[in-house]
Structure 1
Amino acid sequence: MKKTLLMLLVVLLLIPLSPNAKDHLSNKNDVFSFLQEAFQAQISLSDQTRTKEEIIDVLSPYFTEKYQKMFWKENIFEEDGKFVTYGSDFAFYYIPFFHYSEETKVVIFQESIYVLQFFPSTTHGPVSYTDHYEGVLLKKVDGGWKVDEYLYDNIPKSIIDKAY
């Protein structure tokens, strides 16, 4: 009983209070906080099965409909008539494992924000990869900010040059 109550409390804390997009991201720290909340929303989907509507409610404050469709197709699986995500070391459309430090670059425009980081190659651990950039593109949607694109080595050179 105590375990169930504790799990319910954790889930309620992870569910955003407002279904609206974040309306003000004026600096790097605001952007980092927003992306960390978005990532927490994504990983919260692995703790229990949910209805389609519940998943949309969790993702909508942070992600455009376009992004949600890509995330859904890649990461959400049906289980007994409900839906869940499974853990992975390399799953597309999750917020990248940014360091949220000077290594993570933020380029802010009036209607878009690019967040990117260079990840040097590694052969250690369960996942290996070559040098690459990862990032996300946030866009203004109905006066608020939402993640609209996942960027994997397709970040415009002009943005990389501006960031570095």
Structure 2
Amino acid sequence: MKKTLLILLIVLLLIPLSPNAKDSLSNKNDVFRFLQEAFRAQISLSDQTRTKEEIIDVLSPYFSDKYQKMFWDENIFKEEGKFVTYGSDFAFYYIPFFHFSDETKVVISPERIYVLQFFPSTTDGPVSYEDHYEGVVLKKMNGGWKVDEYLYNNIPKSIIDKAY
């Protein structure tokens, strides 16, 4: 019994209280890791149906309430009393398919982080599109960073100039 309690205590001490909360994103690699985790959280919602509360728990460490509502309205569907997302090659409010390389630009300011990438036009495959920029804005909220805006060809010119 004591051994079991000791093991449980050790496990609890090793697990951070907020494993996904990011209060410091000080460089490009930190931002990339955060966005990759956020994207994994989004795509995990297609694995199984969940309650509304479960979905909020998955998204809350990464996304503002405003962003969660936009994502919910566009991508989450009710199925047998629970909710799920369906896969798509072109779904709004998912983290864009960034390359997470030198092609993906990060502009860090004290209260916002802009992440953007230029996507050249393509006519190959099931989805075609014209030249465009995609991006997200992370905003500092309650001491941590959260994705707060989705940008599709509406990135401020001043941010594009700083990035490139």
TM-score, normalised relative to structure 2: 0.89
5+ residue gaps in structure 1?
1-15
Cα pair 1:19 1:57 within 8 Å, conserved: no
Counterpart of 2:109 in structure 1 is 109
Secondary structure at 2:33's aligned position in 1? Answer: helix
Counterpart of 1:138 in structure 2 is 138
Mapping 1:2-151, distance limit 5 Å: 18=18, 21-151=21-151
Q: Match for 2:92: what amino acid?
A: F
Question: C-alpha separation between the residues in 2 aligned to 1:51 and 1:87?
Answer: 19
The offset of 1:72, in angstroms, is 0.0
Cα pair 1:75 1:85 within 8 Å, conserved: yes
Relative to structure 1, the CA distance from residue 154 to residue 71 in structure 2 (aligned partners, 3 Å threshold; closer, same or farther) is same
Q: Match for 1:60: what amino acid?
A: S
Secondary structure at 1:123's aligned position in 2? Answer: coil
RMSD, aligned CA:
1.3
Question: C-alpha separation between the residues in 1 aligned to 2:43 and 2:87?
Answer: 8
Question: C-alpha separation between the residues in 1 aligned to 2:33 and 2:126?
Answer: 28
Question: C-alpha separation between the residues in 2 aligned to 1:56 and 1:69?
Answer: 10
Question: C-alpha separation between the residues in 1 aligned to 2:51 and 2:43?
Answer: 16
- Paired-residue identity, %: 87
Counterpart of 1:161 in structure 2 is 161
The offset of 1:19, in angstroms, is 7.1
Question: C-alpha separation between the residues in 2 aligned to 1:116 and 1:43?
Answer: 20
Count of residue pairs brought into register by the alignment: 149
Moved over 4 A (4+): none
Relative to structure 1, the CA distance from residue 47 to residue 20 in structure 2 (aligned partners, 3 Å threshold; closer, same or farther) is closer
The offset of 1:126, in angstroms, is 0.5
The offset of 1:125, in angstroms, is 0.4
Relative to structure 1, the CA distance from residue 154 to residue 102 in structure 2 (aligned partners, 3 Å threshold; closer, same or farther) is same
Relative to structure 1, the CA distance from residue 156 to residue 48 in structure 2 (aligned partners, 3 Å threshold; closer, same or farther) is same
Secondary structure at 2:138's aligned position in 1? Answer: strand
The offset of 1:18, in angstroms, is 2.4
Q: Match for 1:79: what amino acid?
A: E
